[in-house]
Amino acid sequence: MLRRMYDWCIDAAHKPYALWILGMVSFAESSFFPIPPDVMLIPMSLARPERAWFYAGLCTLTSVAGGVVGYAIGALLYDSVGHWVISFYGYGDKVEAFRAGYAEYGAWIILLKGLTPIPFKLVTITSGFANYNIWMFIGLSLIARGGRFFLVAVLLNRYGVWIRETIEKHLGLWVALAVGVLLLGFVIAFRMF
């Protein structure tokens, strides 16, 4: 099953609809979808290393656009959903302290967490909830997400043949490691927020 999915992503790199799917996954991951765009970005970049830069640019732009939707969820749905979530975690009486802390350290939070496997949707929704400056949020998101996706593009463009051979030889191991990193990102995120 893993091999079929991997082969589909490799083959999809040569199809016109692949860019739409990659863009949609990247957009959705920044606001509500649990799977990061790397599941398509990496195989597509391995299949066509000369387009890795383009794929990274697409992921960056659609991720930031999805982040604006996540920001809107945090900003506009706080009274209905956000307040319940904050109260559930025991921070109901600390909302203003949280917002003040986010105003002071929000730039570092966005930059650092945008580069990590911590789900970016948590950063986008939290930024909206904390009323972080939307233009700063967009600029910092472009830097963080662009840094992450272009780092992948640099590595795959430069070492793509070796990486592809290594992944294909031990596909199950690499998928297990990727799932582990994703789960670790969720655990870290829930402990920090």
Distance (Å, whole) CA 193 – CA 190: 5
Whole-number pLDDT of residue 170 = 66
CA proximity to 102, closest of 70, 139, 132, 64: 132
User: 95-115 and 120-129 are packed helices; what angle lies between their axes, rounded to 10 degrees?
Assistant: 150
Neighbours of 183 (CB within 10 A): 11
Complete DSSP assignment for 118-175: S-HHHHHHHHHHTT--HHHHHHHHHHHHHHHHHHHHHHHHHHHHHHHHHHHHTHHHHH
What is the count of structural domains for the chain?
1
Q: Are 14 and 183 contacting, i.e. CB atoms less than 8 angstroms apart?
A: no
- Of the chain, the end-to-end C-alpha distance in Å amounts to 35
**How confident is the chain (193 residues) per 10-residue block, as mean pLDDT?**
67 82 91 81 85 94 95 85 62 68 85 78 85 95 94 82 69 66 60 54
Q: What is the DSSP letter of 31?
A: T
Distance (Å, whole) CA 190 – CA 184: 10
CA angle, residues 81, 68, 180, in degrees to nearest 5: 75
Q: Are 115 and 144 contacting, i.e. CB atoms less than 8 angstroms apart?
A: yes
Whole-number pLDDT of residue 95 = 66
User: 17-29 and 2-12 are packed helices; what angle lies between their axes, rounded to 10 degrees?
Assistant: 120
pTM: 0.77
Q: Are 86 and 157 contacting, i.e. CB atoms less than 8 angstroms apart?
A: no
Domain that holds residue 28: 2-192
